Structure 1
Amino acid sequence: MWNRIFFCGLVVCLICLTDQTQEQKTPLVVQGTDCTQIKTLSPRATSGVYVIQPAGVTSPFMVYCEMLADGGWTVFQRRTGAEVLFNRKWAVYKQGFGNLRKDHWLGLSKVFALTNGGRGRSSTMRVNLWDFEGGTAFAEYSDFRLGTEKESYKLNIGAYRGSAGDAIRGKYTGIDQNGFGFSTTDKDNDGCSPCIFGDIAEDECSFSEGGGGWWYSRCGSASLNGDWHPAGEHIGWASGLHWETWKGRVPYSARASRMMIKSV
């Protein structure tokens, strides 16, 4: 009896391991420079994992493509729960982590490659948000790109449009995240030395955000890589999935978020 249970459990574990590593064993046959090109060449392409090779990149890599009516979008961040921890250090944020079909961060080096390869082309970045009450919102930015690693993958965005508000530029002056480098707990680029919030002095924004990496500027009002909080525990936390121009004054942690790029 126990031998049979052990054997069945072992089989289940092996199946799980096979499923987790299957993406990594998929032959890297390049299907396009990005999801936008794949959708353009194959209008009936459906959402899923594809292999891309942006211009100027020597090694292809896998991404999740969200194929929508307005084109193919390359997803570089997805949060839907607490299964994947986002309190990671610089090297991991550079490389990427998580499951492409589920919650993940694609990697700063890959996002850089996607936004800096082609001449005469620019990228649009879209943030999708979901709350716990059944509502959704989005923020979209033109001319999105990242700086080099030496520039700490500095954030560059153009004009905003959307329904969530421009949280990257902030609810008030002095916290614009545009033009700031990416920060993690082991690589601080947030401009706080310290930042004073009432009677609180903040030296490193990433720590207050549960270790989540982001383009902090005096902490700012956008941060989607903090701790994920479940329903009933999503209001009032300093850490969370924050887009403060979308909700009220009390910190509200979103139920889910998605960040993606489309070349134009």
Structure 2
Amino acid sequence: MHVLGTFKVNNEASQYRVTFSGYTGTAGNGFELNNGMKFTTKDRDNDLHAYHCGQGQQGAWWYNACGKSSLNGIYKPEGTIAAKTIYWKLWRPTTLKATEIKIRPLN
């Protein structure tokens, strides 16, 4: 999977809101629904779903309603079909073996 775009994390008032724009790639924009969301962890429910995505998915992420992507889930053997894993559903419906997020300053 190869995804390019502009990924911005705003740390005003410890909100850690994220914006992802300028998507290009062949994996589908699994982050589109998460734009503007605060970072959710197992002890801080910042998503918009009645279900606490950070606890249920067992991985912190910028969840909206648990969404189409979570790159901080639990590792399971590649190809596993299960919740609580590392996933990017628009690209592959099964768990991913590994992921990388590369971030660099704009300036």
Give 1:80's aligned residue: none
User: Cα RMSD (Å) of the superposition?
Assistant: 1.5
Q: 1:237 aligned to 53, 66, 82, which one?
A: 82
Q: Are residue 147 (structure 1) and residue 10 (structure 2) matched?
A: yes
Q: Distance in 1 between matches of 2:99 and 2:24?
A: 17
Query: Counterpart amino acid of 1:186?
Result: D
Q: Distance in 2 between matches of 1:190 and 1:181?
A: 7
Q: Are residue 166 (structure 1) and residue 13 (structure 2) matched?
A: no
From the two aligned structures, give the one with the greater helix fraction. 1
Rg: which structure is higher? 1
Q: Is the 8 A contact 1:151 1:181 kept in 2?
A: no
Give 1:218's aligned residue: 65
Give 1:261's aligned residue: 103
Q: Distance in 1 between matches of 2:104 and 2:26?
A: 19
Query: How many positions carry a matched residue from both structures?
Result: 106
Q: 1:138: Cα distance to partner? A: 1.2
Query: Counterpart amino acid of 2:3?
Result: A
Q: 1:221: Cα distance to partner? A: 0.4
Which segments of 5 or more consecutive residues in structure 2 lack a partner in the other structure?
none
Which segments of 5 or more consecutive residues in structure 1 lack a partner in the other structure?
1-136, 170-175, 195-202
User: Residues 157-196 of structure 1: matches in 2 within 5 Å?
Assistant: 157-169=20-32, 176-192=33-49, 194=50
Give 2:54's aligned residue: 206
Q: 1:235: Cα distance to partner? A: 2.1
Q: Distance in 2 between matches of 1:153 and 1:222?
A: 17
Q: Is the 8 A contact 2:56 2:84 kept in 1?
A: yes
Q: Distance in 2 between matches of 1:244 and 1:140?
A: 17
Question: What whole-Å deviation, never above 9, does each CA across 1:82-126 have from its counterpart, x for those lacking one?
Answer: xxxxxxxxxxxxxxxxxxxxxxxxxxxxxxxxxxxxxxxxxxxxx
Q: 1:205: Cα distance to partner? A: 0.5
Question: What whole-Å deviation, never above 9, does each CA across 1:48-69 have from its counterpart, x for those lacking one?
Answer: xxxxxxxxxxxxxxxxxxxxxx
Q: Is the 8 A contact 1:209 1:238 kept in 2?
A: yes
Per the alignment, do residues 149 and 183 of structure 1 end up closer, same or farther by CA in structure 2, a change over 3 Å counting?
farther
Q: Is the 8 A contact 2:9 2:19 kept in 1?
A: yes
* TM-score (normalizing by structure 1): 0.38
Query: Counterpart amino acid of 2:24?
Result: R
